[in-house]
Amino acid sequence: MSILSARGVALSFGTTPALRGAGLDVDAGEIVAIMGPSGSGKSTLLHCLAGILVPDEGEIHFDGRRIDTLGETERSALRRDRFGFVFQFGQLVPELTAEENVALPLLLGGVRRAEAVRSAREWFPRLGLDGLEERRSGELSGGQAQRVALARGLVARPRVLFADEPTGALDSLTGEQVMDLLVDSARAEGTTVVVVTHEPRVAAYADREVVVRDGKAYPLSAEAAVS
C-alpha cells in the first residue's frame, strides 16, 4: 500500500523543465533511494513529494490524500506534523543548542517546551550524541551536526523522512555511521524514508532505487533488459 505517490509530475523553473511527467510510488515503511546525475530533477522530485514545491502538472498523494492542491498553510502543517527532513548540510540553527535544534519541530508543533526538550534528549544517546546537548552547531563536527539533524528529522515521529544527500558533506566513514543510524532509527520507528543521493554506497542502504533521468523517474530492475 503506497503511503506516497507521484503521478505525471511536471515542473519547470522559468522556461527550464526540471520534471517532465515523473511518477513514483513508495510503500509505508519502505526505504527508497532516488538517484540520478546532477540536474536530472531528483531533488526537485523530492521537494514535490514533500509538499515544498507545487508541480505545474500531475498529482502528489500522501496517505490517500491529494496534497499538491493544498494551500501553503496546510502543506506547511503537513510538513511539520507528518514529514521529517535531513539535508546535506544539516542546516542547524546556529543560535540554538543541539538540544533546542532537535526539539524545534516539536516546539513549532505546539508541544510545551519541557516536554519537547525531554523528547529531544531521548535521541542523544540513541545517536551517540551523549554530552553534546548544550553545544551549538559551530562546536560540533560535521558528523555530529548531521546526527543532530537526523534526530531533529525524527523527533516528531514523522510518517516519512525525506533526506537530500544526507552524507554529501561527510567523509566515507562518518557518512556510513550516519546512514547506519538513519536506517536503524527509521526501521525501529517504522518511518518511510525517501533519500536522494548520487552516491551508490548510500543508495545501497535502501530497499530499492529509482533513477531520475531527463525529468522522469525509472525504477531499476536487475531483470534482463528487453532489446
Partner 1 sequence: MTVPLTLLGLLEREPSHGYDLKRDYDAFFGRGKPLSFEQVYNTLGRLARDGKVVVGEVGPGEGPDRKRYIITERGATEVDAWLAEPVEPEPHLQTTLFAKVTLALMLGRRAEAYLDTQRAAHLKRMRELTEIKRGGELVDALLADHGLFHLEADLRWIELTAARLDALAERVRR
Residues of this chain that bind partner 1 (CB under 8 A) = 37, 180, 199-201, 203-206, 209, 211, 213, 218, 220-227
Phi then psi for residue 199, to 5 deg, are: -100, 115
Q: Which is nearer to partner 1, 37 or 109 (CB)?
A: 37
Dump strand ranges (E) for 63-122.
65-66, 83-86
Between 55 and 215, name the residue whose CB sits nearer to partner 1.
Answer: 215
Closer residue to partner 1 in complex, CB, 114/226: 226
Burial class of residue 25 in the structure, from the number of CB atoms within 10 Å of its CB (0-12 exposed, 13-18 middle, 19+ buried)? middle
CB of 109 to partner 1, least distance (A): 33
Minimum Å gap between C-beta 50 and partner 1 is: 24
Instruction: For the CB of residue 38, give the shortest distance to partner 1 in the complex, in Å.
Output: 10
Q: How many CB atoms lie within 10 A of CB 184?
A: 12
Closest CA to 28 of 193, 210, 197: 193
C-alpha cell, 98: 543541539
Q: Which is nearer to partner 1, 42 or 82 (CB)?
A: 42
CB of 158 to partner 1, least distance (A): 23
